Amino acid sequence: MKSHDLIIIGGGPAGLAAALSARRAGVQDVLILERDHVLGGILNQCIHNGFGLHTFKEELTGPEYAARFIAQVKEENIPYRLGATVISISREKLVTYVSREDGLVQVQAKALILAMGCRERPRGALNIPGSRPAGIFSAGTAQRLMNIEGYQVGKEVVILGSGDIGLIMARRMTLEGAKVKVVAELMPYSGGLKRNIVQCLDDFGIPLKLSHTVVEIHGKERLTGITLAQVDENRRPIAGTEEYYACDTLLLSVGLLPENELTRALDVTMSRVTNGPEVDDRLQTDCEGVFACGNVLHVHDLVDYVSEEAALAGKNAAAYILTQQTAGKTVPITADGGVRYTVPQKLDPENMADSVTIRFRVADVYRDRYICVYCNGERIRRIKKRVLAPGEMEQVILKKSELKQPLASIRICTEVE
């Protein structure tokens, strides 16, 4: 059986950045396993601009952003296998993958980085009544059909969910000559980035209907229309508010789910909020030597943060391989008062880096609040925020020097004046 120091599962933005960082930290023997026939992951179909403002200080499209990382991976001669689908991983870091060229292969690693990304929440998860005609797509599927395969997808479109992919597709389909009639969002706020609402909806006069959902699907062979209704504060449709929209296409942009089927076999602690594994400040799961980064860990809005997080996972995996650094005693980071979760979920106060970035999302849209950090019950940080929204990931950077020792607890919350 072949063995490698580090195997990275997934050759998207997280996997690429993790591989580069691990190699630069001194690990020679790295292997990336990618199931698609190209590297770059979802960036390949994200042809819109807005990527790389933090990483490269310029605005790139998805394929351009991916190409910069792919070029570096090739320069560093980091080996990768394409068309290689990992079918299982074990706590002993035995990786099994299948590919047309190699067949069924088992490889042993000293450390693993999980970088499998996420996938879209499907129609089946929404319980929308009605028949099952053609013309109902997840937004990302439509994006792939349009941008990679070159299909028009639809002419009269309704979009359910105001996630970023749905917003991007509203603009994309409008540019390609489709009429996007409405974007409906179940929640009273949009799940997408503000800039996408401005650039993708406002620019083209596409209405965004908050607190609305699809209550009926019409059509037998092909979709002929949908019924939209307003929902109350418990997200239940309000009788009498139904409105019919004729359309041949319904796009669903209703959330992304980290793809952790492989992870489950490791029997690590999973977060019920992020749907990803729980990790410490080194982005290590509670299976020693297995690290996670990118959308498989928690769904991000910006690829720049994925690259940054993945670079940290790569560096720490390298330290694990080269110095046999083992996990120390950790302190949990509690999220409450409007903070839904944090990544990492725990921190090793003794062995932590000088500064650790804690990323999190809030539960609702809040105005004029403070993000507060408590350490052993004492407030050590209070950051004023004019606006906080669930669709925009927040972060605080904790410095080792400001944490009280011995550290017993860390709590991150929002507070009003």
Q: Is 104 exposed, middle or buried (0-12, 13-18, 19+ CB in 10 A)?
A: exposed
Q: Is 148 exposed, middle or buried (0-12, 13-18, 19+ CB in 10 A)?
A: exposed
210 to 229: interface string for another protein, x by CB under 8 A = --------------------
Contact with another protein (CB under 8 A): which of 189, 392, 396, 400?
A: 392
Minimum separation from the CB atom of position 294 to another protein (A): 17
Please, which contacts does 214-217 make with residues 24 or more away whose CB atoms are closer than 8 Å?
214/128, 214/158, 214/160, 214/184, 214/250, 215/128, 215/129, 215/242, 216/128, 216/129, 216/130, 216/242, 217/128, 217/129, 217/130, 217/131, 217/132, 217/133, 217/136, 217/250
Contact with another protein (CB under 8 A): which of 36, 56, 61, 322?
A: 61
243-246: strand order across its sheet: 212-218, 225-230, 243-246
Positions in 25-54 near another protein (CB under 8 A):
44, 47-49, 53
* Residue with Cβ nearer another protein (48 or 81): 48
Contact with another protein (CB under 8 A): which of 256, 302, 331, 347?
A: 302
Residue 249 and residue 224: Cα distance in Å, rounded?
8
Contact with another protein (CB under 8 A): which of 75, 149, 221, 354?
A: 149
- Token readout for 50 is 């807005």
Residue 132 near residue 222, CB atoms below 8 Å: no
124 touches another protein by CB under 8 A: no
67 touches another protein by CB under 8 A: yes
Minimum separation from the CB atom of position 337 to another protein (A): 23
* Residue with Cβ nearer another protein (76 or 203): 203
Positions in 169-198 near another protein (CB under 8 A):
175-176, 193-195, 197-198
Q: Binding-site residue total for another protein (CB under 8 A)?
A: 30
Binding positions for another protein, rule: CB under 8 A: 44, 47-49, 53, 59-61, 63-64, 67, 146-150, 175-176, 193-195, 197-199, 203, 301-302, 386-387, 392
